[in-house]
Amino acid sequence: PRAVPADLGEALHATFGFNAFRGVQEQVVGRVMAGQSTLAVMPTGAGKSLTYQLPATLLDGTCVVISPLIALMHDQLRSAQANGIRAAALTSADTDREATIEAFRAGELDLLYVAPERASQAHFRDLLSRARVCLFAIDEAHCVSEWGHDFRPDYRLLRPLMDAFAEVPRLALTATADAHTRADILTQLGIADDGLIVAGFDRPNIRYAIVPRDQPVRQLTRLIAETPGAGIVYAQTRAQVERLAEQLGATGRPVLPYHAGLPGDVRAANQAAFVASEDMVMVATIAFGMGIDKPDVRFVAHAGLPKSIEAYYQETGRAGRDGDPSVALMLWGAEDFVRARQRLSEVDEARLGGERTRLDSLAALVETAACRRALLLRHFGEHPPEKCGNCDNCLDPPGVSDATDVARKLLSAVYRTGQTYGLGHIEKVLTGHSDDRIVERGHDRLSVFGIVNEDEARLIRPLARALQARGALLSTEHGGLMLGGDARAILKGEAAVAVVVPPKKERKGRGRSGT
Ligand code: ADP
Ligand code: ZN
């Protein structure tokens, strides 16, 4: 056993070489040292690992770290060992398991990393009872909650295990938890409500911009031209990554692809090239970025809708770790929401509510005319000022129109034409542009034929996008539109619809885009 230094700062410097704690680190470490169970919600890059690694070197006994991914576990293991911390992992990938168990029982380990599947087995419990454990650290703790975005049933078995060692404090760590998930983590892991510590989520140097996608290559090319320095463009599929990487090559910047379909050595080489580069653009699936230490990423762009606000925050958070001005640009399309809502039909009952809420929150983020940062921070339970002054909506406020009337005309045209036609057809009906199909189906005789005027006609597309984002318009299997969500309430005049009119600058720039 080592002597606990009077000053934690001294220990911090001795072990990690850092001069000061960052943010809530000190508070979390203090609680752990005092034996108080804690849930620490800290954004990626805030330095979560240190909050259990430092106490592990000071307390008598071993800190058992539950971590869901073997690859991440080994990264952490290596960096802990590099700081002289006595650490080992017990996974199927570790061949020295016997030696590790010996060292653990002999009290020669500061840290023991283990996956939840193994931790929940009876023989692991036996092993713990024959060793000395000073702390349970549960990494990626949102995995314990069905409300979280990455539920792992094995995490539910941790509570009974830890309850068997009730005197050992628990430290749950996560970067991504909204208020709902947080409360659930506390319950599921048996941590008292007053054990919650939340670090500030604001990243003031990141400028958020979220715009409809019309010509993605042109939009991204402009971003790249305006933003010197290295950047990441996230695309949704491997094919999109390949295509975009090729198209963005025309910008003259070095561009490389990254996705799980590339051979491991190519991925490693591309990643290393990116980390070393000062102007490279990496076009990647979300497989890229986790655990990458590159502080000077100047922009992160999403070519399509991210999975959730948490994912968006985490992915954009890879920009500007050095604190210098950086840009996060998201391009989204109504079809992204259509696909995401279709995927909801495959989600099992227990998770449906959570998934739907997650999508609605994203819709609110992209559709808002108010401050993006304020919405993000409120999502993470903070109380930010109304305006940040460093997002698209603060810098160039869009106009907002009450489009409830046009929305009712649009929805009723969808309804009256039988909920089978796409937006092109509906638009013609509403604006009174006849064609053969319209005459053939008798749609020129409907009361909605030619019902919108020229001003209203310009709102149809942004409106359809907004209605699709909020789920009031859904897509049929064949790409037609049908009513969903609160469409009926809108038709009955019980719900209002506002539509964001793009700021003048953007509209001019978009030229012949057709929106
Ligand atoms: P997280 O797990 O929260 O994403 P990490 O634990 O990986 O973050 O830490 C992110 C980076 O910050 C690491 O490079 C780590 O060495 C560094 N770091 C952590 N704490 C401090 C500190 N107090 N001072 C300086 N650097 C720190
Ligand atoms: Zn703002």
How confident is the prediction for the chain on average, in pLDDT?
Answer: 91
The gap from C-alpha 419 to its chain's centroid, in whole angstroms, comes to 34
**pLDDT beyond 70 at 514:** no
Which of 8, 13, 15, 16 has the most ligand 1 atoms within 8 A of CB, as the residue to mutate?
16
Interface ipTM above 0.95: yes
Asked if 271 and 245 touch (Cβ cutoff 8 Å), the reply is no
Which of 22, 29, 41 has the most ligand 1 atoms within 8 A of CB, as the residue to mutate?
22
- Say which ligand is closest to the CA of 79: 1
**pLDDT beyond 50 at 404:** yes
Residue 112 token pair: 């023991």
pLDDT at 512 (0 to 100): 39
pLDDT at 403 (0 to 100): 93
Closest CA to 411 of 488, 480, 475: 488
**Global pTM?**
0.71
The HSE-up count of residue 204 (CA atoms within 13 Å, CB side) is 6
pLDDT at 129 (0 to 100): 96
Closest CA to 230 of 287, 292, 276: 276
Query: Hunting for tokens 């989204």 — which residue is that?
Result: 332
- Say which ligand is closest to the CA of 385: 2
**pLDDT beyond 70 at 240:** yes
pLDDT at 239 (0 to 100): 97
Pocket of ligand 1 (CB under 6 A): 18, 21-22, 25, 42, 44-50, 293
Q: What distance in angstroms lies between residue 502's CA and the mean position of ligand 1's atoms?
A: 39
- Say which ligand is closest to the CA of 393: 2
SS3 327: strand
H or E segment at 308? none
pLDDT at 505 (0 to 100): 47
**pLDDT beyond 90 at 178:** no
Condensed to tens digits (0 to 9), the pLDDT of residues 32-72 reads 999 999 999 998 778 899 999 999 999 999 999 999 988 88
Mean pLDDT on 348-367? 87
User: In sequence order, what are the beta bridge partners of 400?
Assistant: 500
Minimal-distance CA residue to ligand 1 atom 13: 47
pLDDT at 502 (0 to 100): 62
H or E segment at 355? helix 349-367
pLDDT at 511 (0 to 100): 38
In this predicted structure, which of 3-12, 100-109, 147-156, 455-464 has the lowest mean pLDDT?
3-12
SS3 458: coil
**pLDDT beyond 80 at 453:** yes
